[in-house]
Structure 1
Amino acid sequence: MRALLSLALLLQAASLCAEPRAELEGPVAGWRYDGLLERDEQARVAYPTPPIDRGAQRQRNLIEGRLRGIPGEQRSHRLVVNGNPLPLYTDSEGRFVRPYAMGAGSNSVEVRSAEGQSLKRVQFYEANGSKTPARLRIALGWDDPKAELDLHVVTPDGQHAFWADPVMDNGGGLDVDSVDGPGPEMFSMAAPLRGTYLVFVNYWGNLGSGGYNFKEGSNQNEVITAQINLVFSENTPNEKRETFLVPLRGIGDLQLIKSFNY
């Protein structure tokens, strides 16, 4: 009987160890003042591959952690930052590091499973008042690690933010151009201009072991699903958001996702 009980306990422990779970090394929960100490963010690396820093935003946070108990390289998990769901891709050991420009005030980071289960969540209050929250944020993510999609935003004064010209002189711009396949790509403005904005998504090309290419069929999914989150007054009592799911089938596809007045 004692042997059977020990075996049952071992099986139960193995089952618990095998359950999908997430670890978040940063940011940590609680009250914080980011920027109190100087840190060399350039020495940190994002997984699976480093994004290209286009220089539009500063004072970023790095969201870093690890998925455990997940067979193979499961890719259907989500990283939800202040309510914005983003595809979560990892390296072969389940690690991930993603940059995100968070503003002052209350912020949240959550890892969700493919079934929508919350695996890990932290809430923290950023007391550094110089970190201005985005009053307009547009986040693009997609579900194919072998495809490269690009976010394009045209502001009321006619300026056009995209990968080759990301920084505007009106205070807006692309935050990080993630080129490793799943995104995210983000546009943000702390003081949006009044007028009409245009939001486009372009299926630019594909990514393989030899680098970027424009070969049809070298993507992973026959139909790529892009998700665009449009957020106004993020993380405030006046927050409003819209989410769009857009199918893309061929290299060169360019779609107008939304035209709106601010």
Structure 2
Amino acid sequence: MRSFLLLLIGWACLPALAAPSAELSEPVGGWRFNGLLDRSENPQVAYPTPPIDRGIQRNRTMIEGRLKAIGNQRGPHTLAVNGNPLNLYTDEQGRFVRPYAFGAGSNSVEIRSAEGQSLKRVQFYEANNLRTPAKVRVVLGWDDPKAELDLHIITPDGQHAFWAHTALTNGGGLDPDGVDGPGPEMFTMTAPLHGTYLVYVNYWGNFGSGGYNFDESSNQNEVITSQISLVLNENTVDEKRETFIVPLRAIGDLLLVKTFKY
């Protein structure tokens, strides 16, 4: 009996494990006007590695924060931006930085743990009316940080947006272009052409400590699970949203995900 009591006392004296949490240093909640104080012209580090800045969206905001008490699990956690879920990985200190081009009006950012628990949510109102909401937005993310996937968009006038041709003359653009896995890659148009759009995803290759390679055994997962979100008239009363889960197995796979009209 005495041993049992001592065991109970020992358990009671153990320090409580800290619950997983998240902090966001950018963006902050509330009302704001991003104009003269916009820092998007300045290069910033993104974790775990930086996205390519093609210069298409000069008014984008860096979503920056840190996950705490997550143990050895680096992800994938979830970054949900205006309802668009993206895989979120961090550096060894739990830090992350991801870019997003917010439109005027009400916007939200939520951090969820790998188990789906909401750790932090920020709601803010962007009062800069020059930040036109996206009428067409396509977001690609995937679940393997060692795989490199590419988003391809064909617009109604026949232009092709992809990693080697990111800025279109019709105002559409691919930015950011994730080059290191697991994304995101994002196509945006604020004044879209009327007509038919084609959305493709390509399993281009793999990415590791030695750079790019085409060794199919060097990825992390046997099957790469990609998630493509199509959002029309984002952040308005006419918003429409679809999400597609597309498995990719072999390097070189190019799949037509969606054909839609605007």
Q: Structure 1 length as normaliser, TM-score? A: 0.93
Aligned to 2:185: 185
CA–CA distance in structure 1, aligned partners of residues 182 and 206 of structure 2: 11
CA contact (8 A) 2:41 2:58 kept: no
Q: Residue 42 of structure 1: CA displacement? A: 2.4
Contact 1:73 1:92 in 2 (8 A): no
Deviation at 1:74, TM superposition (A): 2.8
Which residue pairs with 2:69 in the alignment? 69
**Residue in structure 2 matched with residue 174 of structure 1 by the alignment:** 174
Alignment of 1:108-257 (within 5 A): 108-257=108-257
For this pair of structures, how many residues does the alignment match? 256
Q: Displacement of 1:27 after TM fit?
A: 0.2
Give the letter for the 1:107 counterpart: N
Deviation digits for residues 185-229 of structure 1 (CA, Å, limit 9, x no counterpart): 000100111111000000000001110011121110000000000
Looking at structure 1, the residues matched to 41 and 144 of structure 2 have their Cα atoms a distance apart, in angstroms, of: 28
Deviation at 1:109, TM superposition (A): 0.2
Residue identity matched to 2:90: T
Q: Percent identity?
A: 72
User: Could you list the runs of 5+ residues in structure 2 that have no partner in the other structure?
Assistant: 1-7
Partner secondary structure for residue 217 of structure 1: helix
AA at the equivalent of 2:80: V
**Mean Cα deviation higher: 207-216 or 39-48:** 39-48
- CA root-mean-square deviation: 1.8
SS in 1 for 2:217: coil
Give me the whole-angstrom Cα distance separating, in 2, the residues matched to 1:39 and 1:76.
Answer: 28
| 1:101 and 1:175 in contact (8 A); partners too | no
SS at match of 2:42: helix
- In structure 2, distance between residues paired with 1:229 and 1:258: 10
One-letter amino acid of the structure 1 residue matched with residue 47 of structure 2? Y
Contact 2:40 2:59 (8 Å CA) reproduced = no
Query: SS at the partner of 1:177?
Result: coil
Using the TM superposition, give the Cα deviation of residue 247 of structure 1 relative to its aligned residue in structure 2, in angstroms. Answer: 0.2
Change (3 A) 1:123 1:157: same
Summarize the Cα distance change of 1:72–1:261 in structure 2 as closer, same or farther, 3 Å threshold: same
Distance 1:76 1:208 in 2: 17
**Aligned: 1:35 with 2:35:** yes
Task: Indicate conservation of the 8 Å contact 1:48/1:180, yes or no.
Answer: no
Q: 1 CA distance for matches of 2:256 and 2:114? A: 29
